[in-house]
Structure 1
Amino acid sequence: MFLVAITGGIATGKSTVTDVFRKNGIPIIDADKIAREIVEPGKPAWHQIKEAFGDEVFLPTREIDRDALGKAIFNSSEKRGLLNQITHPRIHRTITMEVFKHLMSGAQYVALDLPLLFETNILMDFIHKIITVTCEPDQQLERLKKRNNFNEEDARKRIATQMPLDTKCEKSHFVIDNSGSIEQTQKEAQQIVQLLNGSRHHWRIRAYIVGAFLAVVCFVLWLNQFFHFLPFDLF
């Protein structure tokens, strides 16, 4: 199994691309979904956020008020760093566990929906291909304002906290420009899926894993034989 990362900027249209992968039966690990799940009421991260930010970032339902929390962290790099310290390790652990589950299930590859891939460097050493979804800057701004009901100042602040799209594109194996129609974006995503489906990289990964496993087994057997013939009992 190998890993494919789908990233981009906020409101560039990553969900359109991940939907194409999902419809093709490719397992998707969604970092944003995991981020929402780990802060559900009563969970450890929820308690830490409550202690760090107070009641003003919570709704009467005890759920996190994402608008209030968003304004708090995007106006303060210190608070943003604090939230990242609370949530990122848990997100990373959950993603790693999900990857392991899919590895055990025999999946050819898994797509990771990681909006902050380059910012966090999560699993970078294990990702085989990176896909960045981009669009024109003015489109990104307008989409974010419309989607989240932000004014222009707030939208620009959100975009500014992320790595520039041009830099992400330079670091990627594939770039999908979502400035045009949804149909064109879906077509480009489908072409990448077909290319990845034809890859044999997962067999090399499995060969490495099997080889490593056999090496460990042989080493354990050798140790067992060695200690078996010792003239005294070490254990």
Structure 2
Amino acid sequence: MIYGLTGGIATGKSTVANMFRALGATIIDADVISRQVVEPNTIGARRIRETFGEQFFSSDGSLKRDLMAKIIFSDPNARSQLNELLHPLIMDEMGKQSELVTKKNEEAVLIWDIPLLYEENLTNFVQKVIVVYVPEQMQRIRLNLRNNLTPEEITSRIQSQLSIEEKKRLADYIIDNSGSVQQTNRQVVALWNHLT
């Protein structure tokens, strides 16, 4: 069984993923894999270079992630172009990693940590979806504290994703992360016990 874990930006998805990991889940993290597929001399890096140009790469061949982020959060066309280039590579690698885990242990609980699970129509890769939820106002506060962004940048990042209320509505399971760490952890443990 593969569960999808998603949420909005600054909802605390990584915190929840770590809680599940501590309980014994195998987390396959799309963000980690998205970094791996654009490392120097990979197919992903080559695709970005061909589509977006050399200016997005440092002299050592590494992707200038901040520069790329500026473009994709301000230009929806660039964002969908980048996703078209990289998503097949990311999903392929997530599938390979999952196969390796289930070969060793058929009972393994696999959680695919995918920020854009709904936005990129990836729900067919998972059986059930867990959404990490906080209200949008809390997302804004956390983003401001964490990334020191302007109000306009915060709005564009939040609006680049499906609204957190819509994700909550679509979820099979919800972890409300707007309280204390202990409150979140209690929900994670309860859900883990239900899943296992």
Q: Sort the TM-score into its range (normalised by shorter chain).
A: over 0.9
Residue 187 of structure 1 is matched in structure 2 by: 186
Partners of 1:151 and 1:64 in 2: how far apart? 24
2:168 aligned partner, one-letter code:
C
Structural mapping, 1:1-235, within 5 Å? 2-108=1-107, 109-122=109-122, 124-125=123-124, 127-197=126-196
**1:23 Cα deviation after fit:** 0.7
d(CA) in 2 for partners of 1:48 and 1:125? 25
CA contact (8 A) 1:116 1:162 kept: yes
Which whole-Å CA distance do the structure 2 matches of 1:68 and 1:177 have between them? Answer: 33
Query: Equivalents in 1 of 2:11, 2:102: separation in Å?
Result: 29
Counterpart contact for 1:45–1:87, Cα < 8 Å:
yes
Aligned residue in 2 for 1:228 = none
Amino acid at match of 1:71: K
3-state secondary structure, aligned to 2:192: helix
SS in 1 for 2:171: coil
In structure 2, the residue matched to 1:214 is: none
CA contact (8 A) 1:56 1:68 kept: no
The aligned amino acid for 2:21 is R
Task: Mark the structure with the bigger radius of gyration.
Answer: 1
Unaligned runs of 5+ in 1: 198-235
Offset, 1:22: 0.7
CA RMSD of aligned residues (A): 1.5
Equivalent-residue separation in structure 1 for 2:72 and 2:20 (angstroms): 32
Rounded to whole Å, the distance in 1 between the matches of 2:158 and 2:106 is: 34
- Cα distance in 2 for residues equivalent to 1:38 and 1:190: 33
Aligned counterparts of 2:5 and 2:77: Cα–Cα separation in 1 = 28
**Do the aligned partners of 2:129 and 2:171 also contact (CA within 8 Å) in 1?**
yes
Q: TM-score, normalised by structure 1?
A: 0.78
What residue identity is the alignment partner of 1:139?
A: M
**Distance (Å, rounded) in 2 between the aligned partners of 1:191 and 1:74:** 36
TM-superposition CA deviations, 1:50-70 (whole Å, max 9, x none): 222223322344321211101
Given that 2:135 and 2:164 are in contact with CA atoms closer than 8 Å, whether structure 1 keeps it comes out as no
CA 1:73–1:165: 2 relative to 1, 3 Å: same
Q: Residue type of the partner of 1:128?
A: Q
Structure 2: segments with no counterpart, 5+ residues: none
For 1:81 and 1:128, the matched residues in 2 are separated by: 25
SS of equivalent to 1:180: coil
Question: What is the CA–CA distance in structure 1 between the aligned matches of 2:14 and 2:125, rounded to whole Å?
Answer: 23
What one-letter code is carried by the residue in structure 2 that aligns with 1:186? N
- Tell me, yes or no, if the aligned pair for 1:45 and 1:86 is still in contact at 8 Å: yes
Distance (whole Å) between structure 1 residues aligned to residue 23 and residue 175 of structure 2: 18
Evaluate the alpha carbon distance shift between residue 177 and residue 34 of structure 1 in structure 2; reply closer, same or farther with a 3 A threshold.
same
